[in-house]
Amino acid sequence: MADKMDLLDVEVWDGNMAASQAMRQAQIDVVAAYPITPSTPVVENYAGFLANGYIDGEFVMVESEHAAMSGCIGAAAAGGRVATATSSQGFDLMVETLYQASGMRLPIILNVVNRALAAPLNVNGDHSDMYLGRDSGWIQFNAYNAQDAYDLNLIAFRVAEDHKVRLPAMIHQDGFMTSHTAEGVLTLSDDDAYNFIGDYKPMNAMLDFEKPATYGVQTEEDWHFEHKARQHNDLMTKVNPVIQEVFDAFEKETGRKFDFVTNHNLDDADVAIVAMGTTVDTAMLVADQLREEGKKVGVLGLRVIRPFPFEKLAAALSNVKAVCCMDRSAPGGTVGMLYNEICGAMYNSANHPVITGYVYGLGGRDMTVEYLKGIFADGEANAAAGKPTTPLQQFIGVRGPKLNFL
């Protein structure tokens, strides 16, 4: 029986420690992991907890991230609670197995500490790896700070393992900006956290000798489409009600309210910044400062990236006149993902705000209060003009001649 840890009501944790502690409280059966900066401390802390008797499960050291996720898949199919963590190139190497995990409907929890993708090599945070995983059929939760990283881990286990869902889930946090920034995190006791998640309830366990199951079947043209359709149907219809249930239960337990989109003063706003990660928090700070100057601005944070919350997003933006979409990933010859998705969500809604996109923060480049003020100013000009006053895609914070497209 694992020892319990006495936690303060507020612990000073960085995002990595917050994720490790939530994983410890979940009492995972198997963690198979391969370390990579900046996510290394997630599994390093976890291995320490295990070595010190705070966890009963297994920690499997493997030779690559591909093997780490493969180990997780095997353990999850066998019928246990499973989680791991990775970043950047490690996430790249995991991609092949991410699709296996979601296709087999295995509720694995993956902490993705977001980091730039080489070349050139860079250990700092941007959203390139997060974007790479967005078609992989996983649920993707987005943390803005260490508190979120802790809370969303507890939430993710309960959502993913629900028998109506049975899909793997990622919790994204910004490399270094969240993962290595220590801040006060409100904690749950070990018992409360575990009880919130609940005991693992096996489903179709491969190691159920009374009803053995075959995982990883081959389907060709005659069956494959039906299986992918089933998976998509469940992502589109089954997941969000469960997420809502768990968000509600979490609010009841802790008083901390989550929603699919974070709506910060959007109801009477003319201008909205749409962002993910730490930028959501900083943009809210800037929006509050501008409100004091009488400017009608707000922020939309994308809390659940997949399944993408089309209706909730369109509703939150139903009164704004201009939207500035902030993508922290090089789009590789097109517009940013957020720009694209938000245009898609708004095109058939009643409101048609002016929508412009920004590419920023690549390789950990700082997104400052001053830059955000400039972006809100662009949005105000667009709202007043009723049309774009800038090119549709701008690069923010890059040295050299101003870089604009479209």
Partner 1 sequence: MANKGWDEFDAGAILFSFNDKVDNIATTLAEDRPYSPSNSFTASVGDWRIEKPIFNKDYCIDCQFCWIYCPDVSIIARDKKMIGIDFDHCKGCGICVEVCPTNPKSLLMFDEHKDDDECLAGWPEKDEKEK
Partner 2 sequence: MFEIRWHSRAGQGAVTGAKGLAEVVSTTGKHVQAFAFYGSAKRGAAMTAYNRVSDKRIINHEKFMSPEYILIIDPALIHTADFTAHEKENTKYIITSHLNKEDVIKSQPKLEGKEVYVVDCMSIAMDTIGRAIPNTPMLGALMKISGMYEIDFFKESMINVLRKFPQKIIDANIDAIQRAYDQVN
Residues that bind partner 1 in the complex, under the rule CB under 8 A:
103-106, 166, 204, 209-215, 217, 219, 222-223, 225-227, 229-231, 233-234
The closest of 320, 351, 339, 344 to 276, measured between CA atoms, is: 339
Backbone angles phi, psi at 288, to 5 degrees: -65, -40
The entry of partner 1, partner 2, none that residue 209 binds, CB within 5 to 8 Å by partner kind = partner 1
The amino acid present at 306, given as its one-letter code, is R
Separation of alpha carbons 398 and 402, rounded Å: 8
> How crowded is residue 33: how many other Cβ atoms within 10 Å of its Cβ?
28
- Strands in 265-336 per DSSP E: 271-275, 297-302, 304-306, 322-327
Using alpha carbons only, how large is the chain's radius of gyration in Å? 21
Smaller CB separation from partner 2, 264 or 306: 264
Separation of alpha carbons 234 and 222, rounded Å: 20
CB 103, min distance to partner 1, A: 7
Residues 124-153 that bind partner 2 (CB under 8 A): 124, 144-145
Smaller CB separation from partner 1, 5 or 213: 213
CB 105, min distance to partner 1, A: 3
Separation of alpha carbons 148 and 156, rounded Å: 11
Interface residue with partner 2 among 3, 248, 251, 366 (CB under 8 A) is: 366
368 binds partner 2 (CB under 8 A): yes
Interface residue with partner 2 among 7, 95, 123, 384 (CB under 8 A) is: 123
The entry of partner 1, partner 2, none that residue 104 binds, CB within 5 to 8 Å by partner kind = partner 1
44 binds partner 2 (CB under 8 A): no
The entry of partner 2, partner 1, none that residue 173 binds, CB within 5 to 8 Å by partner kind = none
284 binds partner 2 (CB under 8 A): yes
The entry of partner 2, partner 1, none that residue 129 binds, CB within 5 to 8 Å by partner kind = none
The entry of partner 2, partner 1, none that residue 284 binds, CB within 5 to 8 Å by partner kind = partner 2
Bridge partner residues of 298 (DSSP)? 272
Coil vs helix vs strand at 263: strand
The entry of partner 2, partner 1, none that residue 199 binds, CB within 5 to 8 Å by partner kind = none
Sheet holding 393-396, edge to edge: 261-264, 297-302, 271-275, 322-327, 354-360, 393-396, 404-405
Alpha helix (H) ranges present in 52-165? 65-78, 88-103, 128-132, 146-161
The entry of partner 2, partner 1, none that residue 368 binds, CB within 5 to 8 Å by partner kind = partner 2
20 binds partner 2 (CB under 8 A): no
Coil vs helix vs strand at 358: strand
Smaller CB separation from partner 1, 63 or 210: 210
Residue ranges in contact with partner 2 by CB under 8 A: 8, 10-12, 14, 123-124, 144-145, 174, 176-178, 180-184, 278-279, 281-282, 284-285, 366-370
